[in-house]
Structure 1
Amino acid sequence: MVVLPYFLSEMMERKCCGGVTPNTCKNLVNKGYIKATKYTPDKPQLFVIQYLSSGTIKDIEEGRVTVKGYSKDGGIVAENLESRMAMPKTQWNNELHDARDYGTKILKEILGEARFDFPKSLYAVRDCLKLFTLEKPNAIIIDFFAGSGTTMHAVNLLNAEDGGHRRCIMVTNNEVSADETKMLKDKGYQPGDEEWEKLGIAHYVTWPRTVCSIEGHDVNGKQLKGDYLGSEPPMHMSDGFRANVAFFKLGFLNPTAVSLGMRFSEMLPTLWLKTGAKGKCPELSGKQVPDMLILPENQFAVLINENTFANFAEKLAEHPEIQTVFLATDYEVNYQSMVKNLNVTEAYQLYRDYLDHFRVNRGRN
């Protein structure tokens, strides 16, 4: 039996209880779905009234939730009979989300010093990613403001925990702090100088943290200490992760030089990314650009000299796993004719498609 405070009894007779009518309130009391907590004598409402939502009540009455007993304050103690996905709450109370202990301290262990202010907790970011990619083990996560690189670290940790193959793309500038800017300018350095660039966030924080967390050591080559918390079985930080990573510097290419095929080497990483970044990013050996590239490991191919198309098509037929091709030609008719003679799912015309997709401030002269 639940003994109701006078205030709740009066509410049942004369008033509404937080949106619950008197009759509904009586029914909730009879079934044990309502309780009065936290006595507040200095306020007009002497007790805080809590009751179960209609959805929870429905789960109990339809058998999806079983009642185990009652707490000291009269509240129901219950548990779900089956696990199910639920929307996250707006407020989390998890000690692993502490940014000082599991953000700043972890980063300092890797870098050996405080190079970045207020990094996020590794575990807070992991838990956020887990909410949205738990059933998407092949998701691509893009962080346009990478900062200290916590997102990449968290993606690798989540993959290690559940066997996923999620990929992460981090984007950051290479700016230096205000204090470092003043110090560098006082010494006569300018942006672009080696001394300036090496202190930029990408080179000084994001990239070192990424490499060290994957390889399991700090910037001085010493093994990282401790375990990743909340993981079963426990994972040692020194074990690192089974992951590959590549660093690219974003730059601007002259569109005329691109259209003439004079910047193909610089374009190749972009083509690799566009086709899913499979395998190791291909590189050209030497300055001379070949007539074609057949890249089974990367699952794409490039025809650079259209006069060698027949040979290109013959070699491509030997690799049915390649379903994406880039064809360099200035003529739309030639491009369409070549595509018709290839058994692939995706084809792009170089250098038109590249210029259309990656042009900055398009439409301006």
Structure 2
Amino acid sequence: MTKGSAVVSSQTSQAEVQSLINRAVKLGDPKLAADIRQFASTRQYGLVFEHNRPERMRLYGKPVTARDVVQVLPRRGTAESAENRSLWRISALHDGKADLYAYVAPDYADNDGEPRTVDVSDLVAVSEYDQPIYAGLRETGRVEHGGDKPYQVVINGENYHALEALAFACAGKVDCIYIDPPYNTGAKDWKYNNDYVDGSDQYRHSKWLAFMERRLKLAKRLLNPADSVLIVTIDEKEYTRLGLLLDSVFPDANIQMVTSVISKKGSNRRNEFSRCAEFIYYVMLGAAAPISTPSDMNGTGKTATTELPVCWQYLKRRGSSLGASRKGRPGLFYPIFINRSDGSLHSIGSPLPGEVDRHDVICPSGTWAAWPLRPNGEEGCWQVQPSRLQEQLEEGTCYLSATDESKEAAQFLYLKDNDRKKVLTGQVYILGKESSGKLIIAPQESLNEVRPKDVWTMNSHDATHGTNMINSLLINRRFPYPKSLYAVEDTIRFFVADKPDALVVDFFSGSGTTAHAVMRLNHQDGGRRRSISVTNNEVGVEEAKTLIKAGHRQGDSEWEARGICEYITKPRITAAITGRTPDGEPVKGSYSITKESFELDEDAQAISKKTGKPIKRNYYVKKQVPDPSVRDQFPMADGFEENAVFYDLTYQDPTAVRLGMAFREVAPLLWLRAGARGRCIMDEKPDWDIADTYAVLFDPSRANAFVSELAKAPHVGLVYVVTDDERRFASVSAMLGGLPAVRLYADYLRSFRISAEGANN
């Protein structure tokens, strides 16, 4: 048993208690039985740990005020020490200084320091996890590339407080929460009370469980109880404890764990087996269940076949008959112009009249003409007319596969009518396009959807793909252990593929992979899913040492510029949408991975067919081909038709909120609650303002005129009414004809009080 946390068998312990009660009853002592039952009701079974270990959070960016509890930041050029974690309370503020006295908190090491006076700039406010805070959002940038689509939202801030804010905006509305929390490996991969937790901390498991439980309870408020899923990834260090914790927080859920191979070569660990896999918990609420898909995720099912449902044919008509010649089909003899610079298609010419010599055709500058010539040099013809060829090239049902200027030849492959019809009517499964423009079509058997297995062996889930993705989008920027984009995409697909308007939340967002995956899913089916990603702006351990040595500390612009959110998350999502790196260059590469394949050499195939002899192994050519397990393959430089907005979490004075003096900070939360689409009402008006999806009535005395204007805006689905009078709010609500209404600022303040009160429940 690990000190600081314990696992007790719930069923065994409760059975022993019941046995004692039964014995008391047999002895004729009902009072003793009642006392045992009463005592047992106060005990906890299952996962036992110190739920109330103090967790204190620094509120960087919050202006300190009198009576605030604070910590003194380290002197510039020095690292954090135990002294900087001592708690003080401000007794007075004057001339940029703060008078402090020692603050002794319950369950916390005493601070017996003498009263002192320090610069306000050297202080940071501190909050207990269960104290109510009043969060706002301050926009720090946006990318608009998706028309009227809803916005992907990124919030930089402490995720516990961000979850409290989201409880006001999204309670009961979230379809999927995906998180990749700290794995608590003992390698200083996360902080508790602003201090890294390492393997020598005897309470590290208990701290981690308390840390996770608080956030999971808030997350539970966000999920739609009728149909939603929480997804948590973890490794072997905490997966057993996590399973028990999830069972405790979500007792009515259907919980299943999946094993996913993320490195076939393994990660070497001293005196241990090499680690190849991680674990994924699915917590399914209400009617939530994984959908069937073309892949069983294991590679052992029907998807292993390579038989395609279509057959690619040569565009050049074969044979020596009149019908395959220029003379027999003059309308099908025309030039196709190829760029000399890179061998790509330039354009398609018109059919030549019979009397015109093909050598007299003038090619566009920088091109040469490919003709449908027979092997003996005679003029043949193409299979389709120029207009039809142009259509098929645009569809991806025809593509250029090879060229040879010396022979005036270009090899095109295309789909004939029946196979083309399968594509145009959706009878085949399209994975994406190759760089040549060719459609990537799934094998025939993959059309039979199957139930995914609970052991995944997908090449696309290898962790190296996460690193490669960051390298492509953010050249020379590093992020430790990024998830494979395709792994996250597949993980959430089972629960949002059939929900084109799903809301997905990730409050351990890191580099922003979840938001990226949501955008790719939208690209595949035209969905309008949106994501809310919460990350912080911590810097790496080594980066922090460099910044401290240079005299910087958290809160300085130089420090913040190197944090996760500013340096990785925001530019990663921006690059994914625009198709441009932070330097403005097109992103290189495509959304695809390759695998080894052996293709039969065409000459060997012809010899085998002629002689009837089997083909030897050395006639197969080893090459890298697109892996069909990655859907939607296209150049990353194409970007996405998406919008994104970035926020910093701020902390508001509840009195200022109550008096309506903090509207700009609260405004983005109102917009989020209304669906994060269209214009955000940022400024107060004398009477009202009506945006794309919601409206705010600032002056309830103008309710009649407001309701008349609202009738002209049928797209509005939510109304906020600014009033502290419950009866006036009820009167306005009655005038709205059933349109949902929220009372500002009372509902906002109440939401945070509820979060604080429920922190220990």
Give the structure-1-normalised TM-score.
0.72
Question: Residue 584 of structure 2 aligns with which residue?
Answer: 221
Cα 1:220–1:81 shift into 2, 3 Å = closer
1:307 is aligned, of 689, 701, 712, to: 701
Question: Residue 516 of structure 2 aligns with which residue?
Answer: 153
**Counterparts of 1:1-365 in structure 2 under 5 Å?**
83-86=448-451, 88-100=452-464, 102-229=465-592, 230=628, 234-284=633-683, 289-297=684-692, 299-359=693-753, 361-362=756-757
The answer to whether the 8 Å contact 2:591/2:634 transfers is yes
CA distance in structure 1 between the partners assigned to 2:705 and 2:561 by the alignment: 46
Cα 1:150–1:335 shift into 2, 3 Å = same
The answer to whether the 8 Å contact 1:291/1:303 transfers is no
Instruction: Give the residue type in structure 2 aligned to 1:270.
Output: L
The answer to whether the 8 Å contact 1:294/1:316 transfers is no
- Shift of residue 114, structure 1, vs aligned partner: 3.7
Structure ID, larger Rg = 2
RCO (CA 8 Å, sep 6+): is it higher in 1 or 2?
2
Q: For residue 109 of structure 1, give the secondary structure of its aligned residue in structure 2.
A: helix
Matched residue pairs, number? Answer: 281
Stretches of structure 1 that go unaligned for 5 or more consecutive residues are: 1-65, 67-78
RMSD (CA atoms): 2.4
- Shift of residue 272, structure 1, vs aligned partner: 0.3
The answer to whether the 8 Å contact 2:678/2:691 transfers is no
The answer to whether the 8 Å contact 2:587/2:637 transfers is yes
- Shift of residue 188, structure 1, vs aligned partner: 1.7
CA distance in structure 2 between the partners assigned to 1:345 and 1:339 by the alignment: 8
CA distance in structure 1 between the partners assigned to 2:445 and 2:472 by the alignment: 41
Q: For residue 349 of structure 1, give the secondary structure of its aligned residue in structure 2.
A: strand
CA distance in structure 2 between the partners assigned to 1:352 and 1:200 by the alignment: 35
Cα 1:161–1:226 shift into 2, 3 Å = same
CA distance in structure 1 between the partners assigned to 2:445 and 2:586 by the alignment: 43
Higher normalized helix content (fraction of residues): 1
Question: Residue 176 of structure 2 aligns with which residue?
Answer: none
CA distance in structure 1 between the partners assigned to 2:447 and 2:758 by the alignment: 57
CA distance in structure 1 between the partners assigned to 2:735 and 2:494 by the alignment: 45
- Shift of residue 130, structure 1, vs aligned partner: 1.4
Instruction: Give the residue type in structure 2 aligned to 1:95.
Output: N
Stretches of structure 2 that go unaligned for 5 or more consecutive residues are: 1-301, 303-443, 593-627
- Shift of residue 133, structure 1, vs aligned partner: 1.5
The CA deviation string for residues 200-254 of structure 1, in whole angstroms up to 9 with x for no partner, is 1011111100000110011111101222124666421100000000011111111
Q: For residue 648 of structure 2, give the secondary structure of its aligned residue in structure 1.
A: coil
Q: For residue 361 of structure 1, give the secondary structure of its aligned residue in structure 2.
A: helix
Cα 1:363–1:227 shift into 2, 3 Å = closer
Q: For residue 108 of structure 1, give the secondary structure of its aligned residue in structure 2.
A: helix
Identity, in percent, stands at: 41
The CA deviation string for residues 156-192 of structure 1, in whole angstroms up to 9 with x for no partner, is 1111112222111100111111112222222221211
Cα 1:363–1:244 shift into 2, 3 Å = closer
Instruction: Give the residue type in structure 2 aligned to 1:89.
Output: K
Cα 1:216–1:293 shift into 2, 3 Å = farther
Cα 1:206–1:363 shift into 2, 3 Å = closer
CA distance in structure 2 between the partners assigned to 1:344 and 1:147 by the alignment: 41
The answer to whether the 8 Å contact 1:324/1:344 transfers is no
CA distance in structure 1 between the partners assigned to 2:752 and 2:739 by the alignment: 22
Higher normalized strand content (fraction of residues): 2
Cα 1:188–1:334 shift into 2, 3 Å = same
Q: For residue 302 of structure 1, give the secondary structure of its aligned residue in structure 2.
A: strand
- Shift of residue 112, structure 1, vs aligned partner: 1.0
CA distance in structure 1 between the partners assigned to 2:446 and 2:473 by the alignment: 43
The answer to whether the 8 Å contact 1:295/1:301 transfers is yes
CA distance in structure 2 between the partners assigned to 1:147 and 1:166 by the alignment: 20
The answer to whether the 8 Å contact 1:189/1:196 transfers is yes
